Structure 1
Amino acid sequence: MLYFEDFIVGETVDTGSIAVSEGDIVAFASRFDAQDFHVDPEAAKTSFVGTLIASGWHSCSLLMRLMAESFLLNSAGMGAPGIEEVKWLRPVQPDDVLHGRRTVTEIKPSRSRPDMGLVRFRLELLNQRDEPVLEQANWIMFGRRGSDAAQAPGDWLAYPPRYIPPALPSPIEPPQAPTEAARFFEDIAIGQSFELGSCVFTAQEIVAFARAFDPQPFHMDEEAARASSFGQLAASGWHTASVWMATMVTHRRRQLAAFGAGHAPRLGPSPGFRNLKWSRPVFAGDRITYRSTVTDKRTSASRPQWGLFFHHNTGVNQDGNEVFSFDGCVFVERKPG
C-alpha cells in the first residue's frame, strides 16, 4: 500500500502495456467522439489527419487505466482535483501498444487536512517505439500513513480496457435554442458562447466507463463508494470530460446542418488543453449541461489554410453548480482562397 510518504521527488516508474485495436478506437469514439477520423477508416483517409486515430480523450482514459493498474489501486489515493496540462503529441493508431511512465515532480502536505498530502506527477503515455504520444501534469491526493484512507478490496481489474456501453445509454440532449451555422476561422467571434447539450450520468453509465478506464472502487461499486470520501457512486473525471466531447460533436453536427449546401468549414484535431478542474463530484442521477465560449484565435504558421481558436468550457449540474471546466484549442479551416 502506497501512502503520501512513499513518494519521492524525482522517482520514475514505468507501467505495464495495453494493445489498442481498431475496434477499441471505434468503440470509444462511437460513444464519446464520433468524428470521421475516429470512427470510419475510409472517411478518415480524406480528413485532416489522413488515417484512423484514437480520440485524445481515449488516450487520456487509457493512461488513467495504466496508472490505476500500476499503483493507484494499491495506494491510499483520494482522487485528483484536476489536470494542469495535457499535450497530445502524436496520434494513437490501430495496433499501437501503449505504456505509461510516472515521475514525481513535487510533494506537499495538505494545510487543511493533516491526514493527507498532494503529489504532483509528470505522466507520459508512450507507444511501442517509446515515442511519447501524450504528456500530462497533475496533482493526486493521497492519505498519509496511519490514516484510514485505503482502496476497498475487490477484483477491480476484471474488465478489459475497452468501452462497452450499458444496455440503455443516456442520450445527449440538445439545447432548446437553435444552433448557429458552422463558421470558418475568419468568422469566429471572440466571446461567442454556445450551449452544447446535456447528459444524465446514470449508475450504469458511470460503472461502464470506470470498468474500462478508471477502475477505482468509488467509481465502480455503490457500497465501496459509500465508504469512500465521496459518500456515493461518483463518475470518473475522465468520464465527465469525455461526455463534454460527446456534446461538442453533436453540437458540431447541428452546426453543419445549419450551414446547408456548399463547402462547410472543417475542424482538425486539438493539440491539448490546460487548467482542467473537477470542482465537484458528478454523482449517479446528475444532469450535466455543457457550454463552450470562444476566448481567442490565431492563424497557424505551420498550416496556412488552418487557424486555431481557443475556448473555455464548463459543465454545470442540475443545481446550477459548476462541476467541470477546462481551457482548450482546436484547428479550424480558413476560408478557401
Structure 2
Amino acid sequence: MEYYEDLTVGDTTSFGTYDVTRDEIVSFAEQYDPQPFHTDADAAAASMFGGLVASGWHTAAMTMRLLVDNYLADSGAMGALGVDELRWPTPVEPGDVLSVRTEILDKDVWDDDRGRVASEITTTNDDGAVVLSMVAQVLWRRRG
C-alpha cells in the first residue's frame, strides 16, 4: 500500500498497454458520444479526422482503466476531486496501443486522514503521440 507520505513531488511512473479496437470505439460512442466520426466509418472518412476516431471521453475512460489496473488499485488513493487542463491533442484510432505516464506535481495535507496530490497524467499512443493530458487532483490516505 502506497500512502500520501510515500509520494514525492517529481516522482514519475509509466505503465500499461491498452489495445484500442474499432468495435470498442463504435460501441462506446453509440452509448455515450454518438457523433458520426465516432460511429460511422464512411462519415468519419469525410470528417476532419479522415477516419474513425475514439471519443475524447472514451480516451479518458481507457486512461482511467490503465490507471486503476496498474497504479491506483493497490494504493491509498481515495478518489479524485477533479481534473484540470484536460486535453486530447491527438485523436485515438483503431489499432492504437495506449500507455500512461504520471508525474507528481504538487501535494499538501488535506486533513488528518488525507492528503491532496496533483499528478500530471499523460496518455500516449504507440507512436509516442500524446492523446490525452490532464492534471488529476486526488485524495490519498495518510499513514496512521
TM-score bracket, normalised by the shorter chain, equals: over 0.9
The residue type paired with residue 54 of structure 1 is A
Matched, 1:88 2:85: no
Give aligned-pair identity as a percent. Answer: 38
Aligned to 2:71: 71
Partner deviation per Cα, 1:39-74 (whole Å, 9 max, x = no partner): 111111112322100000000111111111121111
> Which residues in structure 2 correspond to 1:236-275 (within 5 Å)?
none
Structure 1 Cα separation of the partners of residues 105 and 60 of structure 2: 20
State how far apart, in whole Å, the 2-side matches of 1:87 and 1:132 are.
9
Secondary structure of residue in 1 paired with 2:46 = coil
Shift of 1:3: 0.7
| Cross-structure match for 1:30 | 30
Query: 2:115 is matched with which residue?
Result: 117
Q: Deviations over 1:236-257 (max 9, x none)?
A: xxxxxxxxxxxxxxxxxxxxxx
Which residue of structure 2 aligns with residue 43 of structure 1? Answer: 43
Of 68-77 and 115-124, deviating more is 68-77
- Between the aligned partners of 2:58 and 2:82, the Cα distance in structure 1 is 17
SS at match of 1:78: strand
Runs of 4+ in 1 over 3 A off after TM superposition: none
Question: For the residues of structure 2 that align with 1:62 and 1:7, how far apart are their CA atoms?
Answer: 24
Deviations 1:140-166, CA, capped at 9 Å, x for gaps: 0011012xxxxxxxxxxxxxxxxxxxx
Amino acid at match of 2:69: E
CA distance in 1, matches of 2:58, 2:100: 14
Compute the RMSD of aligned alpha carbons.
0.9
Distance 2:126 2:49 in 1: 20
Measured in 2, the distance between the counterparts of 1:76 and 1:53 equals 34
Query: Which residue does the alignment assign to 2:99?
Result: 99
Cα distance in structure 2, aligned partners of 1:125 and 1:23? 21
- Give the 3-state SS of the residue equivalent to 2:131 in structure 1: strand
Q: Which amino acid aligns with 1:145?
A: R
Summarize deviations over 1:111-146 as a string: whole Å, max 9, x none: xx2111011000000000121111111210011012
| Counterpart in the other structure of 1:12 | 12
Task: State the one-letter code of the partner of 2:134.
Answer: Q
Considering fraction of residues, name the structure with more strand.
2
Deviations 1:158-204 (A, max 9, x none): xxxxxxxxxxxxxxxxxxxxxxxxxxxxxxxxxxxxxxxxxxxxxxx
Q: Answer with 1 or 2: which has the greater Rg.
A: 1
Any gaps of 5 or more consecutive residues in structure 2?
none
CA–CA distance in structure 2, aligned partners of residues 92 and 15 of structure 1: 18
What is the DSSP-based 3-state SS (H/G/I as helix, E as strand, rest coil) of the residue aligned with 2:9?
Answer: coil
Q: Which runs of 5+ in 1 are unaligned?
A: 147-337
1:1-337 equivalent positions in 2, closer than 5 A? 1-110=1-110, 113-146=111-144
SS of the residue 2:73 aligns to = helix
Letter in 2 for 1:114: D
User: What is the distance in 2 between the residues matched to 1:114 and 1:15?
Assistant: 31
Moved more, 129-138 or 115-124: 129-138
Asked which structure has the greater RCO (Cα within 8 Å, sep 6+), the reply is 2
